[in-house]
């Protein structure tokens, strides 16, 4: 028997404290993700390192008949607009109503908040459950930064999350989802067991290339077997709603073994809470250390401009680190990507070799951040199109709109017309910058850049310049978290004030 599996994707990581919302056009463009695809065009994503690509390839081994509907993603930002959310969800739910299917696979993020609902994925999953009933399996893959809700867990037959940050196992996670679909179709209902952690984790602490996340995910895989599948989502600690935070869960045919595995991992997370703490450098500290290291290095020192990460809700236009570079007279430096369409337009009007007097960046009006007013030299212009060669989303076509390279003293600034996280070295190359030849690189990213930049970096430094993605969750003005959750490892508990 060939099982008919409806497949769709709808991804957004929502920072409810960010300045800009996600529009329908955001999903059409993709903003660093593949552009919106429908019908058979969804199947063309099979060779892209995203979950639905892995699911499509694995599904062929099980001889599933796939019914592709839509795949849409946008760069993290503030809330998804209500009309946009309902428009995309309606396409998925109508397809589920109209088709005779044996299962549904969804490529989700797990931290979507829309203007009118806090739990974007939970509502989508529950609507589909109401349409297809209890007997049709619904399987979804999630980002490692998912804020997994009880509605998500109760509405899906199985959820499985990434295990790497930087996310290099996205297709692998989709493949795992296909295997869970096969297991559910063969075995019937699976047992589920989950635990919710009592503290938030900063995103920089979640990097699986280093301790403690590296060791924890290795242990998680050791606990797995043919009878159980496990997941841990440390969460996205910038979504102000009741169920924001880390969740550990699993599925299996052996409940006793599943319970023991999840509880053992949960106990480790409680016992080693202090290991998930992290400290940050100021912009001035980071630049001074980078200059000192680069004097005796043959490879670039990379500074993460973590609080303006467009992969976590930033708009990629703050200038704090550039100003620190200038005040410390740093040389042979590249910064990217700064998103400023007006600056790019001015550069095109001046042409290569021209000079422009502009105010660069600062559009988000972040407290402590201002535009950089200066005279810039136009060094390079391009259409802003490339394919990624790095481990994340390898082979994916990206279009960030027209790009300009502006020079100011010893600094090259890659300026784009639309925002994209600096996760691939080719985003520098489209601005005419050879990243390997720079002494210092300042990347608008938190962790993802490590996948492609780690191999060329002499050292990685993490700096907190003013920006919309607050790196320390205890610094955020929370209002709707659950009572008592600690705002960071060993931090103060969130207490709801009763007026």
Q: What is the pLDDT of residues 304-355, one digit of tens each?
A: 999 999 988 889 999 999 999 999 999 999 999 999 999 999 999 999 999 9
Q: Where are the beta strands (DSSP E) in 340-410?
A: 355-360, 372-382, 385-387, 397-399, 403-408
Mean pLDDT across 227-255: 97
Q: What is the per-residue pLDDT for 467?
A: 92
Q: 66 falls in which pLDDT band (50, 70, 90)? A: very high
Mean pLDDT across 88-107: 98
How far, in Å, CA of 159 to CA of 231, rounded? Answer: 8
- Give the ranges where 188-281 is alpha helix by DSSP (H): 213-223, 255-271
Q: Is pLDDT above 60 for 419?
A: yes
How far, in Å, CA of 183 to CA of 491, rounded? Answer: 41
How far, in Å, CA of 77 to CA of 75, rounded? Answer: 6
- Give the ranges where 409-476 is alpha helix by DSSP (H): 426-429, 450-453
Q: Cα 410 vs. chain centroid, distance in angstroms?
A: 31
Q: Is pLDDT above 80 for 291?
A: yes
Q: Is pLDDT above 90 for 227?
A: no
Q: Is pLDDT above 80 for 32?
A: no
How far, in Å, CA of 461 to CA of 33, rounded? Answer: 26
CA–CA–CA angle 144, 309, 53 (5° rounding): 40
Query: What average pLDDT does the chain have?
Result: 96
Mean pLDDT across 97-114: 98
How far, in Å, CA of 150 to CA of 245, rounded? Answer: 12
Cis ω on the peptide bond leading into residue 337 (within 30° of 0)? yes
Mean pLDDT across 415-429: 96
How far, in Å, CA of 116 to CA of 135, rounded? Answer: 30
Q: What is the per-residue pLDDT for 499?
A: 54
Task: For the chain, give every domain's residue range.
Answer: 4-276, 283-471
pLDDT in tens, 266-288: 999 999 999 999 999 999 999 99
Closest of 115, 134, 133, 112 to residue 124, by C-alpha: 112
48 CB contacts (<8 Å, ≥6 apart)? 34, 171, 393, 394, 395, 396
Q: Is pLDDT above 70 for 136?
A: yes
pLDDT in tens, 199-215: 999 999 999 999 999 99
Q: 119 falls in which pLDDT band (50, 70, 90)? A: very high
For residues 43-61, one letter each, b for 16 or more C-beta atoms within 10 angstroms of the residue's C-beta and e for the rest, the string is: eebbebbbbbbbbbebbee
Q: Is pLDDT above 80 for 497?
A: no
| Edge-to-edge strands, sheet with 103-108 | 37-38, 65-73, 4-11, 103-108, 138-142, 158-161
Q: What is the pTM of this model?
A: 0.91
Q: What is the per-residue pLDDT for 226?
A: 84
CA–CA–CA angle 28, 33, 37 (5° rounding): 45
Cβ neighbourhood burial of 254 (10 Å; 0-12, 13-18, 19+): middle
Q: What is the per-residue pLDDT for 83?
A: 98
How far, in Å, CA of 168 to CA of 50, rounded? Answer: 9
Mean pLDDT across 98-127: 98
Q: Is pLDDT above 70 for 498?
A: no
228 C-beta neighbours (distance < 10 Å), count: 22
Q: 496 falls in which pLDDT band (50, 70, 90)? A: confident
């Amino acid at each position: 028997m060939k099982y008919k599996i409806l497949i769709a994707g709808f991804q957004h990581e929502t920072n409810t404290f960010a300045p800009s919302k996600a529009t329908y056009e955001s999903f059409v463009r993709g903003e660093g993700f593949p552009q919106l695809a429908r019908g058979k065009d969804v199947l063309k994503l099979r060779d892209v390192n995203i979950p639905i690509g892995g699911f499509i390839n694995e599904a062929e081994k099980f001889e599933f008949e796939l019914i592709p509907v839509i795949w849409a993603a946008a760069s993290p930002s503030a809330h998804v607009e209500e009309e946009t959310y309902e428009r995309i969800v309606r396409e998925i739910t109508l397809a589920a109503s109209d088709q005779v299917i044996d299962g549904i696979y969804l490529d989700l993020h797990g931290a979507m908040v829309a203007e009118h609902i806090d739990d974007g994925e939970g509502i989508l999953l529950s609507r589909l459950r109401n349409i297809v009933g209890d007997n049709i399996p619904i399987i979804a893959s999630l980002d490692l930064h998912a804020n997994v809700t009880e509605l998500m867990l109760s509405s899906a037959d199985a959820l499985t999350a990434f295990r790497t940050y930087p996310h290099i196992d996205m297709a692998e996670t989709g493949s795992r989802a296909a295997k869970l679909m096969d297991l559910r179709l063969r075995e019937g209902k699976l047992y589920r067991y989950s635990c919710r952690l009592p503290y938030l984790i900063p995103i920089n602490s979640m990097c699986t290339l280093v301790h403690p996340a590296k060791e924890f995910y290795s242990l998680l895989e050791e606990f797995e077997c043919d009878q159980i599948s496990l997941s841990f989502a440390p969460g996205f600690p910038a979504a102000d709603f009741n169920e924001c935070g880390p969740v550990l869960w699993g599925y299996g045919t052996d409940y006793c073994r599943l319970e023991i595995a999840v509880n053992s991992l949960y106990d480790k997370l409680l016992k080693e809470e202090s290991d998930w703490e992290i400290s940050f450098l100021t912009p001035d500290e980071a630049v001074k250390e980078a200059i000192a290291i680069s004097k005796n290095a043959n490879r670039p020192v990379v500074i993460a401009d973590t609080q303006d990460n467009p992969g976590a809700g930033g708009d990629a236009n703050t200038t704090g680190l550039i100003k620190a570079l200038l005040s410390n007279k740093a040389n042979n430096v590249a910064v990217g990507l700064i998103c400023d369409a007006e600056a790019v337009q001015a550069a095109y009007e001046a042409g290569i070799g021209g000079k422009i007097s502009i105010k660069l960046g600062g559009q988000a009006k972040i407290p402590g951040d201002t535009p950089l007013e200066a005279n810039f030299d136009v060094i390079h212009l391009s259409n802003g199109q490339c394919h990624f060669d790095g481990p994340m989303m390898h082979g994916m076509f990206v279009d960030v709109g027209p790009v300009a390279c502006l020079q100011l003293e010893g600094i090259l600034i890659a300026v784009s017309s639309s925002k994209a996280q600096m996760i691939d070295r080719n985003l520098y190359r489209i601005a005419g910058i050879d990243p390997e030849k720079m002494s210092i690189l300042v990347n608008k990213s938190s962790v993802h850049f490590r996948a492609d930049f780690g191999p060329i970096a002499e050292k990685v430094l993490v700096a907190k310049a003013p920006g919309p993605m607050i790196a320390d969750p205890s610094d955020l003005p929370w209002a709707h978290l659950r009572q008592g959750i600690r705002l960071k490892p060993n931090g103060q508990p969130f207490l709801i004030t009763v007026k």
